[in-house]
Structure 1
């Protein structure tokens, strides 16, 4: 008799990660298939949606060849968010996708903010207006590629496109819809007001379903390509951030976690959206449907560290970490502002860039290394302080590539002044969340809380009160440094 499993595709920024899970939440096989990203000089960042599909087929066929004794109960998805995939009436991609990091829509963002106060938009959508948002991207398409706009039957996201190719069904889920700047998070539907402001045809937006919805079954041709049975149920799943919430066990009100990869976000699960006076807390729909996924995202966390590792240590992270821990507390008075690609939270500033202050004749390479670690951790502390205004945070779960560093984790813990636990198997947490969502969709699990039994704590970190007090003052210095230099980047002419 064959074993039972759930097959998950995480449509990421650099490639598809396919994971086959057993019903207890363990990964029995995984495979990554990469695809290219195309960059332009005007902030363009694009991918070919059909590359996602080809990579899904490649990864799935490889796994299923190795796991012939497994019966796939269903297929589920996680995916990159805030993209724009334009499909025609036959479900074909009209042009390459504008992915989440595409920043070409700055003029459209100005149009939106001229028509509506950003805070008023934030109160409707849960998100501050941004050139990265699908609303602004769709406005750009209409203004710059009117023929493609006219041909567009629906606009969807990455996971939705792959699901369409498997099933023939065109939908998105509430978690992805709630990150578009076109969705009313209170009414949980598309916002007619925002569509009107953007002069967007609402009928180009897809139907919205719950994350655990079975949207159809795998068609015969695609089943053969994937190596699964024809008629296998397909669950639409959720965006990668909300999937991470489920996968790390954050589905109940009051849970807080910090993902630290190339970017980083701190999320609390709330009963109602957190309305921040400055629009710094982004609110989305949690896959569970009855709670909100509320948090703040910094643009460059792990990517800022990796850039400095590459520059200073030729890519040797261990040497970087060893040196950083040799430097004194406070990095010999250096301050690193980790804003290598603008910033979202805590400052909402597209112009700001990375900066190091305080370099002297006594500065060492070790000081620079520690300043980078502290700068990233202090910026996350500023976000955590904002979240604590909206949720009584008691402890924090952390995961992501940067958290493999014990040194960084302790610095972060001291900055937060909160107990921190590092989760095990962090590379699969997003996929685990998608797996639990899919399992709920087919009735294998009662609810999302089952994920709490599937994740394990690898190590706990305790804050040092003296160091927490020190970092409290240094975080204020980081804010002061930002306020002092921001006008320079606004006015730069190079």
Structure 2
């Protein structure tokens, strides 16, 4: 990253693409490929995503929808075009990238050989690929501004749909969905993976952990667990960040270490939630993820950390459902922003526990370097 940051202004790149300079986005990946396999990089004729590759094989051309392009770090949100300065820094010509098309524009029908193979799909209308984050929002009933979707899986994210570009704090990202909507949010690299690592490493019993977490008061262990085991995305975007555990004593138990790890993740999500709330007034949060559905302790912890009611989305395939909803919206069959989802009853936060989480988050944030400090 430092080498690429010397070739392109990270602040200017963030201002134009709304994507931080980070290995999770294409500029860093492409620069790495150029540096480690220059011959392969030089011989590349066309750069496409998996969705574009499927698109060209099935339909005959490699169109890239703005929804996918805007999540690459190569797309200029202002110009709604590929961003010239980052392409120049990478030594990539715009002619080697796919044509940009509106997400809601139909892409045609199957090529003859595929139509013959799948006659049921011969007359189907196809659209450019859309990212799983946007699809998850619409599939979980969070397709309107102010309703946030929180995913708690291996990693985590909080996102809300907005209908116009908004000013947002450093550390978030903004992707385009279609001509009328954008997706504002933040993501953390460490969520369920931290829990799984701790359970495996400490050899804990899931039922014993669940009982401990339900009874435990946040912060009572005196431990601080910084959960950056997979580096950091929001809010600091420090790819080289590492995890740490401080405050241990001889009487510290395995369950207390796991509690500190889960609380560390919840504090990260609270930070992203607070940043998102600065930009958009949130009034609902729909949560999805297998761990949340299974664990009453995790649901309670999320509710207390965020300090607001949450509802768990019980749709079995929210992302696939969201893709279908967006396609039907593009066809004019329905209004994607008005489609709901199957949700649990709201869980209510404990004010006292939320106050503890808020204090812990404020202390952690005061010690955290900013985005520019990390990439400079």
TM-score by length of 1: 0.69
Q: Is 1:356 the equivalent of 2:356?
A: no
What are the within-5 Å matches in structure 2 for residues 220-259 of structure 1? 220-223=112-115, 228-259=120-151
Q: Is the Cα–Cα contact under 8 Å of residues 422 and 458 in structure 1 kept in the other structure? A: yes
**How far off is 1:220 after superposition?**
4.5
Partner of 1:284: 175
Matches of 2:60 and 2:246, distance apart in 1: 55
Q: What pairs up with 1:66-215 in 2 under 5 angstroms? A: 109-215=1-107
Per the alignment, residue 186 of structure 2 pairs with 296
1:47-90 Cα distance to aligned partner (Å, 9 max, x none) = xxxxxxxxxxxxxxxxxxxxxxxxxxxxxxxxxxxxxxxxxxxx
Aligned equivalent of 2:373: none
Listed one character per residue, the Cα deviations across residues 172-197 of structure 1 (whole Å, up to 9, x for unaligned) are 11111012221111221112232223
Q: Which structure shows the bigger proportion of residues in helix conformation?
A: 2
Matches within 5 A, 1:298-377: 298-313=188-203, 317-377=206-266
After superposition, the Cα gap between the structure-2 partners of 1:223 and 1:433, relative to the gap in structure 1 and judged at 3 Å, is same
User: What is the CA distance between 1:281 and its match in structure 2?
Assistant: 1.1
Segment drifting more, 255-264 vs 329-338: 329-338
Larger strand share, 1 or 2: 1
Indicate if the aligned counterparts of 2:168 and 2:276 stay in contact, CA closer than 8 A.
Answer: no
Tell me if the contact between 1:325 and 1:370 (Cα under 8 Å) persists in the aligned partners.
no
Aligned partners of 1:327, 1:419: CA distance in 2, in Å? Answer: 20
Name the CA shift for 1:246/1:353 in 2 (closer, same or farther; >3 Å): same
The reply on whether 1:465 has 2:354 as its aligned counterpart is no
- Stretches of structure 1 that go unaligned for 5 or more consecutive residues are 1-108, 484-494
1:288-342 C-alpha deviation (Å, 9 max, x unpaired):
432221111101111111111222246x544432332243432421222111111
RMSD of Structure 2 on Structure 1 (CA): 2.5
Counterpart secondary structure, 1:294: strand
Alignment match, 2:292: 403
d(CA) in 1 for partners of 2:289, 2:61: 33
Partner Cα separation in structure 1 for residue 252 and residue 366 of structure 2: 21
In 2, the alpha carbon distance for the partners of 1:381 and 1:110 equals 29
CA–CA distance in 2 between the matches of 1:147 and 1:115?
21
Q: How many residues align?
A: 370
How far apart, CA to CA, are the structure 1 residues paired with 2:117 and 2:199?
A: 41
Instruction: Choose from 149, 163, 182 the match for 1:271.
Output: 163
- Relative contact order, higher structure (CA 8 A, sep 6+): 2
Alpha-carbon contact 1:135-1:198 (below 8 Å) kept: yes
Mark the runs of 5 or more structure 2 residues left unpaired by the alignment: 370-376
2: CA distance between counterparts of 1:353 and 1:223? 50
With structure 2 as the length reference, what TM-score do the two structures score? 0.89
**Aligned partners of 1:347 and 1:146: how far apart in 2?**
30
1:172 and 1:209 in contact (8 A); partners too: yes
Question: Kindly tell me: are residues 245 and 345 of structure 1, through their superposed partners in 2, closer, same or farther at Cα, counting changes over 3 Å?
Answer: same
